[in-house]
A and B are shown apart, each in its own frame.
Chain A
Amino acid sequence: MTKEKILNLLKDQTQLIILILLALGISLTTPEFHTVNNFVNLLKQVSVIATISCGMTLVVIGGCLDLSVGSVFSLLNLISITAQQKSDILGIALPICIAIFIGLFNGLIVTVFNVNSIIVTLGSLSVFSGLALLYTGGSIIFGIPDTWFAVIGKGKLAGVPIHVIIFIFIAAFYQIILMKTSFGRKIFYVGTNHESARIVGIRSTLVRTMTFVISSLSVAAAAVMFSSRMITASPVTGVGFEFDAITAVVIGGTSLQGGRGSIIKTIIGVLMLAVIINVLTLYNVPFAFQNVAKGMLIIVAIISDVRSRGRFEK
């Protein structure tokens, strides 16, 4: 019985074990990777995509997918920098306000018209990337350097970058929402079986719309972090982010079929992805091959997701 329990525990934590083995193997064979500097670099690299992935996790658990995050990121990056030219506080507040509208736009179209979220957000991906290009005519814009706005991206607290702290705060907040609150539980019910959820009195349209708003808000947070670090914006900064975020969510073990997953899983997924990319970079593997590797990874992850789900469909 105890042996069985341990085995089950191990089975549930496949991703964590893979991550640990991966990190161990690499730090033993590659001295460069071993440095603390590299690990901090890793966290710094992932804070933006990890924040987006955390928001995406809620959407996926609720049974949908948000493909628009990449282009929304570009747009909010532009908005943040232009607003920052006027005032620092606007540089933070404006992207957040606009993110709420974008989230409502995605969420309401998906739920009110009851259409596939992949197609809807594929459409809004195109809409927002178009808007981002129109916004500046395709050129790069610059913010005002050396104001307190830059502290978010560049400052440190007890040696830890402030944007990493913000990310950890957001991740913890979402994890608590998912695991400890009735709203979080509703997301799981809606994602597992939205017909049953309706019958127990859950307004699934409302719950799903909220997950899209949370996703956009997470993108806004990520865009502000990025803007603060770079003090520049371009209409293509977020290209491909949707792919990275979804890959991280799926390889972390959150089911694309809804109803199962967690923020911790997603963070493990983000780290796995980052470690693999880092190693490939350290070994001078060309960028094009990195894309091949990422693509293979998501395909393997989705197959294992579907196979594990098979148990429930007898």
Chain B
Amino acid sequence: MTSDLLLEIKKVTKVFPGTVALDEINFELRKGEVHAIVGENGAGKSTLMKVLSGAYTKTSGQIFFQGREVEIDEVEMSQSLGINMIYQELENIPKLTVAENIFLGRLPKGKLPGFVNFPELYGETKKILDDFKIEINPRAKLTSITTAEQQFVEIIKAVTAKNAQIIIMDEPTSSLTKQETDKLFSIIEELKKKHISVIYISHRLDEIVDIADRVSVFRDGKNRGTLDRENFDRDKIVTLMIGHAIEETEKKKFQRRHVVFEVRNLSIRNRIEKFEMKLYEGEILGIAGLMGSGKDELVKCLFGLWPAISKEIYFEDEKITIKHPVDAVNLGIVYLPEERKLQSLFLSMSVKHNISPLWLFNRHKRFFIRGRVETEIVDTYIKRLAIKTPSALEAIVGLSGGNQQKAIFSRLLAVEPKLMILNDPTRGIDVGSKEEIHRIIRELASRGTSILFLSSEIPEINKLANRVVVLSKGETCGEFTDDEVTTKNIIVAATRA
């Protein structure tokens, strides 16, 4: 490994209205090294990558590329420096072949103007693929190869077409199998041989130990430490990730008396293998896991939004079947989806009409709606949850994210549910609203509502949950109860990929 610096980031700060995403962060990348970055969601990893790729402009600080200061204020600038991000949502064109994708925009010209020299195209592609020891047919359409292979094509394209010097991979293995991951690592080894640097973002510590030369740990917009390969130590990394500042909140022992909800033998094709769980009255059960662990499919399946191969659900000691959300809703089970705009809101409708539907169809249950009762219910919840809106008749689209989410909570609360499934309920909302939603969740639980809780932020699960089930690749890989529920325990279990 050479020690010459390729990229140096000095005291870069990025401020968003209300938050400091990067706080005088420092980071350096050597030529031909694989530099892993770990950190919680919101630690600043993706913000820094967006600054590097030109999607965001830094507020202050300096970036040096090959010792020369550069201003990356647009995507083209970043690409001309040879910085390439491999996106989760791949950018390839599915209808074209592997070779056409790799040579997109610089296809070898044929004898006649406007024609393509296909023999040369496929021959060249074969050579490049062999060079990286990738066995994909250059003539295969993108749609006919696996997601992993598409990702490889993307990498090859970045290296050959865009003259990449730095390749950024964000959670590249979240949807890959073990063999595919190994293949990816061998491609990364090839990249290193060609002196191309890789920034590798992942939560999976085992992988990082396997592939990285160095690892930097981000927390709260700062780089908390860069470790060399010799000093890799799982405990040290986790400690840096959590920091000492976070106090583990005092967990009182929760009285588990009465099982409200029980799941047995739940399997989902390619996602979940024989899952079991019990949920007690008034308990907040957190489900933690990385992307691709199957937790999203799990809760969707419980609510009838995802098909299962087998599932047995018992609700208040009775066996039930949930095929459509309406079955769940009729039993007093409600669901808060993770995508507020796509799955929760009726964007063009009023605040009132966004709050009332569950109540209307499951409590009110009259053919003729009693308008006055509906208005009363809506007003009650607007007041109770302190939703800031000029009036109940205002279009919900004009409210802030936090207030929109509180309106959705009102919708769920209006049916006095026995079980709430909350999928990342505080995603994308401001700190104040987040606190309020935490308070609402706690209050509900204290009144006996059972809560199944997913979050993209582990400290949030730690803060709220009485018990946590950790999933990895579709299987339960850890369960923590009461005072065992700590950020450290959860992270260690979840990252044991």
Q: Is B346 an interface residue when CB atoms closer than 8 A count as contact?
A: yes
Chain A interface, number of residues (Cβ within 8 angstroms): 26
Q: Could you say which of B40-48, B50-58, B97-105, B322-330 contacts chain A?
A: B322-330
B297-338 contact mask (Cβ, 8 Å, vs A): 1 or 0: 000000101000000000000000000111011100001010
The main secondary structure of chain A at its interface with chain B is helix
Q: Which chain A residues border B305 with CB–CB below 8 Å?
A: 198-199
- B349 A188 Cβ-Cβ under 8 A: yes
Which residues of chain A in 199-217 are interfacial with respect to chain B, using CB atoms and an 8 Å cutoff? Answer: 199-203
- A183 B367 Cβ-Cβ under 8 A: yes
Looking at the complex, which one of A192, A201, A311 makes contact with B346 (CB distance below 8 Å)? A192
Q: Which chain B residues border A188 with CB–CB below 8 Å?
A: 346, 349, 353
Count, A-B residue pairs, CB within 8 A: 85
- A200 B411 Cβ-Cβ under 8 A: yes
Q: Is B362 an interface residue when CB atoms closer than 8 A count as contact?
A: yes
B271-285 contact mask (Cβ, 8 Å, vs A): 1 or 0: 000000000000000
Looking at the complex, which one of A185, A193, A200 makes contact with B347 (CB distance below 8 Å)? A193
Looking at the complex, which one of A186, A196, A309 makes contact with B361 (CB distance below 8 Å)? A186
Q: Is B369 an interface residue when CB atoms closer than 8 A count as contact?
A: yes
B72-83 contact mask (Cβ, 8 Å, vs A): 1 or 0: 000000000000
Q: Is B111 an interface residue when CB atoms closer than 8 A count as contact?
A: no
Q: How far is the CA of A258 from the CA of B142 in the complex (A)?
A: 35
Which residues of chain A in 160-200 are interfacial with respect to chain B, using CB atoms and an 8 Å cutoff? Answer: 180-183, 185-186, 188-189, 192-193, 195-200
Q: Is A289 an interface residue when CB atoms closer than 8 A count as contact?
A: no
Minimum CB–CB distance from B133 to chain A (whole Å) comes to: 43
Q: Which chain A residues border B364 with CB–CB below 8 Å?
A: 182
Q: Is B360 an interface residue when CB atoms closer than 8 A count as contact?
A: yes
- B348 A196 Cβ-Cβ under 8 A: no
Minimum CB–CB distance from A17 to chain B (whole Å) comes to: 22
Looking at the complex, which one of A182, A195, A197, A259 makes contact with B348 (CB distance below 8 Å)? A259
Q: Is B343 an interface residue when CB atoms closer than 8 A count as contact?
A: yes
B361-375 contact mask (Cβ, 8 Å, vs A): 1 or 0: 110111111010000
Minimum CB–CB distance from B483 to chain A (whole Å) comes to: 35
Looking at the complex, which one of A182, A196, A203, A314 makes contact with B326 (CB distance below 8 Å)? A203
A61-78 contact mask (Cβ, 8 Å, vs B): 1 or 0: 000000000000000000
Q: How far is the CA of A216 from the CA of B480 in the complex (A)?
A: 58
Which residues of chain B in 115-155 are interfacial with respect to chain A, using CB atoms and an 8 Å cutoff? Answer: none
A277-314 contact mask (Cβ, 8 Å, vs B): 1 or 0: 00000000000000000000000000000000101111
Interface-central residue, B305, B343, B360, B361, by most chain A CB under 10 Å: B361
- B358 A200 Cβ-Cβ under 8 A: yes
Which residues of A pack against B, CB within 8 Å?
180-183, 185-186, 188-189, 192-193, 195-203, 259-260, 309, 311-314
Would you give 11 A-B contacts (Cβ < 8 Å), ordered by A? A180-B368, A182-B361, A183-B367, A185-B357, A188-B353, A193-B346, A196-B346, A197-B346, A199-B325, A199-B337, A312-B348
List the 7 closest pairs (A to B, CB-CB), nearest first: A201-B329, A201-B326, A192-B346, A200-B357, A312-B347, A312-B348, A200-B358
